[in-house]
Chain A
Amino acid sequence: MSASCYIPENLTEALEIRKKVHAIPLAGGTDLMVQAKRGIGINPVFPAPIMIITNLEELKGIRVEEDGTLVIGALTTSAEIASDERVFYHIRKAASLMGAVSLRNSATIGGNIANASPKGDLPQPLILLDAEVVLSSIDGERSMKVDDFITGAKKTALKDDEIIKEIRVRPVKATHLFYHKIGTRRANAISKLSLSILADVEDGIVKDFRASSGAAGNKVKRDRNVEMILIGKHIEELPSLVEEFTSAWDGILSPHAMPKYRRESTRRMLSYFLERIAAGAEPGIIE
């Protein structure tokens, strides 16, 4: 147990501290402060030194690169993401429904990924879009898919000398979009279940189809093999594939609590989306 706290001025300094003492990066603190609290009138206790990285300008902001890749700095808050039109629909929507206003003003995308809660709001759409996370250390950078970075409930591939620098999302072509979060209530809620879906339909053919399920297992659930059931098919074929597809999708879910509800709601939402596309729904958001 240690009470040490570092406040680096820039990324290089932060990476040096991270390398030397493996200090835990603390950004918005909306998860870490809750996890470390010890009760009223008692200082929080962390398992290692803490490094408050809120100052690091290198990790802030949203930009779009020439090839259309969206880059979101790790310290970008949910509020900033939710209000930026350049951000892909699913991510923006998820950010807008995260906690309450005050939390969205301090919680960061890097923190939400690092916390790796199966109920976390942002990993689910990021995994849908094959987003990559860029990890910095004093020795260099590496990147990997968010889906590979989060290895299980509260588990990540982050090394003890690394800091999440940014998240990169390459453009994804899609004609039909769906996002739904079932919270414990209508606002300021933790996710009970969430689902993102997208489809790219061209001349009646499903060119791409993706889905990702949050709070339905030890981590966000997505499976390209299951998605392949629908890809390449004509929308007229979809009704006959609903049963096969939704059953296969159900097979990848592993909800711990309220399994029946989580499975059946997911099945009904997926079916609904497919029925709407089969019925020739206009491109856009499926409500």
Chain B
Amino acid sequence: MAATRIDDKIRRSDALSKARGEAKYVSDYFFDGMLYAMMLRSTEARADIVGITHPVLPEGYYFITADDIPENGVNSLHMIGKDWRCFASGDVKYVGETIGLFVGPSRAVLKSLVENTKVEYAVKEAAVSIDDAIAVKGGAILPEKDNDVMCQLYCQKGREMDDVFKDADMTLSETFETGFQEHVHLETNGAIVTEEGDSYVFYISAQCPFYVRKSVAGLLGLPLDKVIVRQTVTGGAFGGKEHFPDVLAGPLLVAESKIHKPIKLIFDREEDMEFSVKRHPSKVIYKSAIKDGKLIGTKGTIYYNCGAYLSASYVVLQRGVFHANGVYDIPNTYLEGYGMATNTFPSDAFRGFGAPQTLFAIEMHMSHIARRLGIDPADFKKSMFIKKGGETVTNGHVVEEVMLNDMFDNIAKESDYYRKSREYGYGSGRGIGVSFYNHGGAFTGNGEQAIIKAHARLKKSGEKVTIEVGSTEMGQGFQTSLRKIAATVLEIPIEDVDYPNPDTSIVPDSGPTAASRSTMVVGKLIERCAIEMKERWNEGDFSVEKEYEHPEGFPWDQETFRGDAYLGYGWGAAIVELEIDRRTNEVLVKGVWTSHEIGKAIDELIVHGQINGGVIQSLGYASMEKMENKNGHFKQTSMSDYVIPTSMDFPKQYYHIQENPYQFGPFGAKGMGELVFNGVDAAYVDALERAIGKEVYKIPLPPEDIEEALENA
């Protein structure tokens, strides 16, 4: 077989087994004597638990609660904070909070136990929306505070805002809102716990096996190495399996410590929709100062609905604030972010990780300013593009050449943007819209160096090489990309490189599979391992392990949020063309054109797949994916009432990949998994506004909400 080269188009290593149904997901695992588990969950958004009465447990059945956590353990899942309880105890803070776990041999019996258990509540007034939380409805959720602000930050660039606004010849103040979004990964959440020797072992559908280990070990007061996590083939995640698997693994571990038999917990689709994390709803208020046709200053107040526990919310909020200027060099900015505690299911990681909300808002805001200035939104936006060396909102600098002008030229030509923009005008029923966006690669600031300290290992055995990392394949294609990087450097066929799903007792911790960091950071580590292995190839069987090295000259202060928040961005430009049916408000998308700068595509087929998927997910977010929460309960609980797009909804996609090799990435590659989600929503809404001749301020916009927008305008 020929040695693999980086530009070869190759078939994904997991494609056939998944297409044929041969891939073994956690639900497909069976162990002798295995029991099943089912959660007893809160049905109230905020309440004290007065009492729990369950039916008499049949022989071989168990009911596990916080009382089963041993004295040397703590009732806490250690995510970034430690506030998320494994089991609710004394009170509940959101609908769906785990109160107990029924365990036994028959799922039908477990279901009946759950249904016939009576939890008596003293119900309290709940705060569900951002506005509820601002008003501290029902009193503060956080015990140590007198308000519902769970986390906050601000950052300033340039002059004082009051000063800037004195210079303005025009100001514009607008409020934008985005909704919940459900991940709808094809495979629902699931996990199995068992024992091997004196260790607990998890088989789990998860993005971050080492997160699970860290999160649950403290429940039993265990050293980390007494918990082994084996990732099973994971059928999609999108951030929904970054921290959330901990919420399954925690109760399972406590149960295992009592029962000592394999226990399986699999969510069905309704459970996975009703009782899992979602994208943070947002409310973003921009006030901008404009002078001589230029944006000279923007004050942004950013609220994210975090739900009842912190989880990743503070980091999500930070990313939201750091992306709140979009791709623009606004000379003066003051941005403040507030993560609001509410009695909803905790919000958590979701592709884009806080950036999509503010990017949507700034893109719409920029289009609205352009309209008031009588300039085509594309031209106004282009006049404000940040450039290499330009100052970011955290007083850091953009490290790479920004190629948005070239990228826009490409898709403007392909879509005939300027002709259509002129011809369709405003309110003709047809519209073409444009958006620009970026995504900072990897962990914010010095997180890769200070927090993660990723390790990766290559192991040589004869002519074969095995990749040992904690990074996971979740459908994004990483097992193929990483093999390709190793094989290319080693000049061997990709078939000679193995990359099994990680087992925390075998592989080093290469950090979470999140933050668009895998190719950029872990890929680089494997590239470095492979370069050394190549030099020593004739030494027989050996391993090479490398640790992350932070490039010099990129200061970051995590206390003040000043400095280089990201060492490199992916960049995107999008155009959407559509028509609206004036009688029914149905939107017909005529075309979607995107250009993405990701340094270098390690595999064009995989990148193309990511672009198609991310773009459609973003268009669904803008148009139809409506998840409402009433009194703490999600209203949409199945795939027939929470709809995601089909290929019929957004049929035509043109994509362009802009090369711009990145100095710190493998073969010049940067992150791209989240970038491709971050901004097409705004191009869609820009096009929609132009078609209907009205401005809109919130997404999603199904036809009935367009009716409302037309009515209220």
Contact = CB atoms under 8 A, between A and B. Distances in A.
Contacts of B584: 180, 182, 193, 265, 268-269
B105 to A, nearest CB: 11
B703 A261 contact: yes
B517 to A, nearest CB: 33
Interface string A185-201: 11111101100000000
Interface stretch (B10-18, B376-384, B704-712): B704-712
A180 B585 CA distance: 13
22 contacts: A39-B268, A39-B270, A39-B271, A40-B27, A41-B107, A41-B266, A42-B108, A180-B584, A182-B703, A184-B624, A184-B640, A184-B702, A185-B648, A186-B646, A188-B646, A189-B643, A190-B640, A190-B641, A193-B584, A260-B711, A261-B704, A268-B583
Contacts, number: 71
B613 interface: no
Given A42-B108, A192-B703, A261 B585 contact: yes
For the side of the interface on A, what is the size category?
A: 20 to 34
A147 B107 CA distance: 42
Contacts of B27: 40
A86 interface: no
B649 interface: yes
B586 interface: yes
B645 interface: yes
Contacts of B111: 38-39, 42
Interface string B254-277: 000000000000111011000000
B309 interface: no
Nearest to A188: B646
A185 B645 contact: yes
Interface in B158-203: none
B582 to A, nearest CB: 7
Nearest to A259: B704
B583 A185 contact: no
Most buried by B among A40, A182, A192: A40
B36 interface: yes
Interface of A: 38-43, 180, 182, 184-190, 192-193, 258, 260-262, 264-265, 268-269, 272
Most buried by A among B271, B584, B646: B584
Contacts of B585: 261, 265
* Secondary structure of the B contact surface, majority rule: loop
Interface residues of B, number: 29
Contacts of B266: 40-41
A190 B636 CA distance: 14
Given A38-B111, A264-B707, A265-B707, 12 more contacts: A38-B108, A39-B111, A41-B107, A42-B108, A180-B584, A182-B586, A185-B624, A185-B645, A258-B707, A261-B704, A262-B704, A268-B584
Nearest to B623: A185
A45 B333 CA distance: 60
A141 to B, nearest CB: 35
Contacts of A190: 640-641
Given A185-B649, A186-B648, A261 B707 contact: yes
Interface string B486-515: 000000000000000000000000000000
A267 to B, nearest CB: 9
Contacts of A186: 646, 648-649
Interface string B622-646: 0010000000000000001101011
A264 B708 CA distance: 11
B646 A187 contact: yes
B640 A40 contact: no
Contact of A272 (B271, B583, B704): B583
A215 to B, nearest CB: 12
Contacts of A189: 643
A186 B702 CA distance: 12
A269 B645 CA distance: 25
Contacts of A261: 585, 703-704, 707-708
Contacts of A258: 704, 707
A152 to B, nearest CB: 21
A274 B649 CA distance: 29
A191 to B, nearest CB: 11
A185 B646 contact: yes
A187 B646 CA distance: 7
Which 9 A-B pairs have CB atoms at the shortest separation, nearest pair first?
A: A261-B704, A187-B648, A258-B704, A268-B583, A186-B648, A261-B707, A40-B268, A184-B643, A41-B107
A265 B583 contact: yes
B205 to A, nearest CB: 14
Interface string B581-619: 011111000000000000000000000000000000000
A260 B704 CA distance: 8
A42 B645 CA distance: 30
Contacts of A39: 107, 111, 268, 270-271
Nearest to B639: A188
A43 B268 contact: no
Contacts of A187: 646, 648-649
Contacts of A40: 27, 107, 266-268
